[in-house]
Each structure stands twice: as C-alpha cells, then as structure tokens.
Amino acid sequence: MTPSSPGPLLTVRAAVVLLLALVIGILAGALSYLADRSVPSAALWGGGAAGAALMTFHTIIATK
C-alpha cells in the first residue's frame, strides 16, 4: 500500500494573491521610508497597504 501524497500547501490563486500583496506592501513601505526616513512609519504604511491589497486582489482575482 502506497501512502497518498498530500495536496498542495497553497493553491496557485492564494500564492498569487499573497505575492501581490507582499510586493505592494514592500513598495509602499519603501516609498514611505524614502519620503520620511522613519522605519516605524514605513512599516505601518507597508502593512496597511499590504492588507488593503490583500483584500483587493482577493476580490478581483476570480476563482473560476
């Protein structure tokens, strides 16, 4: 008897949505840091942008 292989950890859709949110968050944080030279402020801007992008891309990218 052979063990069945487990399914993927993430679907392709979930991986794409998370990757896009990560890219948007990094870009927003980097731009914020360049404008203000404050790491905490850049982290907050990046986190907020990543959260908003996550919800946006989750809505936009259709499942089928």
Dump pLDDT digits (tens) for 7-62. Answer: 889 999 999 999 999 999 999 999 999 999 999 999 999 999 999 999 999 999 98
The one-letter amino acid code at 42 reads A
User: pTM to 2 decimals?
Assistant: 0.86
**Is pLDDT larger for residue 57 or for residue 64?**
57
Going from N- to C-terminal start, the domains of the chain cover 24-64
Tell me the residue length of the chain.
Answer: 64
Whole-number pLDDT of residue 2: 66
- What's residue 7's pLDDT? 86
- The answer to whether residues 36 and 42 touch, using CB atoms and an 8 Å cutoff, is yes
Residue 1: the pLDDT is 58
